[in-house]
Amino acid sequence: MAAAAGAVCVVLVALQLAGLCGAVSASLPVVINTWAFRKATETAWRTLQLGGSELDAVEKGCGQCEIDQCDGSVGYGGSPDESGETTLDAMIMDGNTMEVGAVADLRHVKNAIGVARKVIEHTKHTLLVGESGMVVIGKSGIVASGTSTNGGVHKIPGRVGDSPIAGAGSYADSTAGGAAATGDGDTMMRFLPSYQAVEYMRMGTDPTVACQKVISRIQKYVPKFFGAVICANTTGSYGMYLVQLPNFADLD
């Protein structure tokens, strides 16, 4: 059974989706993740402890999941499209500069999150399509986020979900916080839940309430929507909200 695509990798304290809908207050730095991929979480945390930047932590954490092929939903070899080929999507965002690097439909490359970062560093573009989520907040309050995924199982070749879309798969703003989403990507990308959650936190909304509000907005139009959103503000408080966790194979 394929697992949830769009693993917004890594968590400071195993913040699992099932059963956790309350806000948590924590000191900085903090690393949160939509799924309990512990090794990826530890990699991101260790990167911060060794002096790496928040972007370094996101890249290394999601990259660890790409190496481990977390639940078959991240990295090479999983979630083939209708033609049997695996393609990767990834996005990374700097909450200080608001720069975004994203790739979609990536082929013959295993480190999608690394390529996404290179889009920031070596191009003037935001999203490149052709041949992963995580939110990290450092001690100084700098926010970064990222995603890496191999997409939905048996998708139509060329289909791109929410993961590489800034504001949908994840969003970071060092003046407010960060958020990331997982679930029905084709629906979520229409509502930009990660961006909206960060804007709610900017207005002082509790992280968990912010997550609830963006999920409720989606459900107003798509009652059978399934998915989850995680949020963290610049004080280190974090929370999440999920609805209708389905068969993992349905996720993106």
List the binding residues: 159-162, 182-185
92, 113 contact by CB (below 8 A): yes
CA dist., res. 70 & res. 23, Å (int): 26
Report helix, strand or coil for 218.
helix
CA dist., res. 100 & res. 127, Å (int): 8
What is residue 249's DSSP assignment? G
Nearest residue to 154 via CA among 71, 249, 90: 249
Q: Which residues are annotated as a binding site for substrate?
A: 159-162, 182-185
Which value, to the nearest 10 degrees, does the dihedral of the CA atoms of residues 193, 77, 120, 93 take?
A: 30
Number of residues in the chain: 252
CA dist., res. 11 & res. 14, Å (int): 6
Nearest residue to 132 via CA among 119, 155, 115: 115
Amino acid identity, position 208? T
